[in-house]
Amino acid sequence: MSRIGKKPVELPQGVTASISGQTVEVKGPKGTRSFKATDDVTLALDEGKLTVTPRGTSKRARQQWGMSRSMVSNLVTGVSTGFRKELEIQGVGYRAAANGKILKLSLGYSHEVNFEVPDGVTVSTPKQTEIVVEGIDQQLVGQVAANIREWRAPEPYKGKGIRYKGEFIFRKEGKKK
């Protein structure tokens, strides 16, 4: 039995869900999201709880059970509190500035990097060396943060680059004479 799949998804205050066939639509204070489950699982809504149960005991049904429950849980979390990734920039002269849908990054290249932020995600810079990515879609927030980090991933010798907040970079020793 799936440990994740058998837990019901609680709907917090202010969040409503509706099921039509294999599609779950969740509305909350931050927006609306939907997920279409496969035919291997059954979705049910009762007394403010969404439950996912497998149809049969096939391997695929058991795989889809836990995954579908996680996807529904992420929908509920997204529309109620949202998702957030924090990045920090380290390096002399490295900085970021957000204006509108463009994130301007100075990362030691001969030019400034203009990163266009997709719809559904907001990017802010509380300090010049911090970037905060927020949104209701967990996958999109994580992908945007990874795309920003890709411009200058942290290097192991001096630790310069863009890293996730709290990320540990294994440092290497430089050359010796």
Would you say residue 4 lies in a domain? no
Same domain, 100 and 68: no
pTM: 0.87
Residues 6 or more apart in contact with residue 3 via CB below 8 angstroms = 66
**Inside any domain, residue 16:** yes
Q: Which two tokens stand for residue 92?
A: 């002399």
- CATH number of the domain to which 104 belongs: 3.90.930.12
Q: Is residue 92 scored above 70 in pLDDT? A: yes
Picking from 80, 107, 136, the residue at the C-terminal end of a domain is: 80
pLDDT tens for each residue of 107-149 = 999 999 999 999 999 999 999 999 999 999 999 999 999 999 9
> Do 37 and 67 fall within a single domain?
yes
Claim to verify: residue 97 and residue 150 sit in the same structural domain: yes
Both 158 and 100 in one domain: the answer is yes
Q: Do 139 and 159 fall into the same domain?
A: yes
What integer pLDDT is reported at residue 1 of this predicted model? 65
Q: Which domain holds residue 93?
A: 83-164
149 shares a domain with 87: yes
Q: Provide the domain count of the chain.
A: 2
- Strand stretches in 29-168, DSSP E: 31-36, 41-46, 49-54, 83-90, 95-99, 102-106, 113-116, 121-124, 130-135, 161-164
My answer on whether 57 and 97 are in the same domain is no
Cβ atoms 168, 161 nearer than 8 A:
no
